[in-house]
Structure formats: structure tokens, C-alpha cells
Amino acid sequence: MHYVGGTADITTVKVREDLSLEHVQSSGGGPWGGVNVDDKFFTLLRELIGPEVFKEVQDSDPNWKSMEYEMRMAFESSKRKVGANM
């Protein structure tokens, strides 16, 4: 069995007589979503390295944005492997 992961956000809408949509119930979401997990991981990383050093790397390295993107993609890939062999 291969675990892919993911969530489903469901919103309920009502179609009015004039064919416009009315939101009846919005998706609940919550602080356990993948983006929040990513943010917590990078907050932890910043704290482990030290906020000053982290900021210095951000400010001094012209490739920081692409490095951050690569780290986020690697972290996302790692999250998807959790539980894959369960």
C-alpha cells in the first residue's frame, strides 16, 4: 500500500434562482494543515541555527530564495514518505 497523503477541504454552496452562488458552509481547515507543519519546521530550524545567523544567511546569499525553495520541496517530499510502509 502506498500512502500519498493530502487533505480535502469541503465548502457547501447553494445555487440561487438567479444562478449565483451562496456560501452555506466554508471549509473548516485548521492549524494541522501541511503549510502550517512546514512553517513550524522552518521556525524550529531558525531557532536551532539562531535567528541572527539565519537572518545573516538570508541577507547575504543571493541564492537564498532558491535554496529555501529547494529545502521546502525536500521537506515536503520527506513528509509524504512518513507512514508509506505502514
Q: Give the pLDDT confidence of 4-23 residue by residue, as tens digits.
A: 555 666 778 888 898 888 88
Of 3 and 55, which is predicted with more confidence?
55
What b/e readout covers 19-51, taking b as 16+ CB neighbours within 10 angstroms?
eeeeeeeeeeeeeeeeeeeeeeeeeeeeeeeee
- Residue 39: pLDDT above 50? yes
Q: What residues does 13 pair with on adjacent strands?
A: 23
- Residue 69: pLDDT above 50? yes
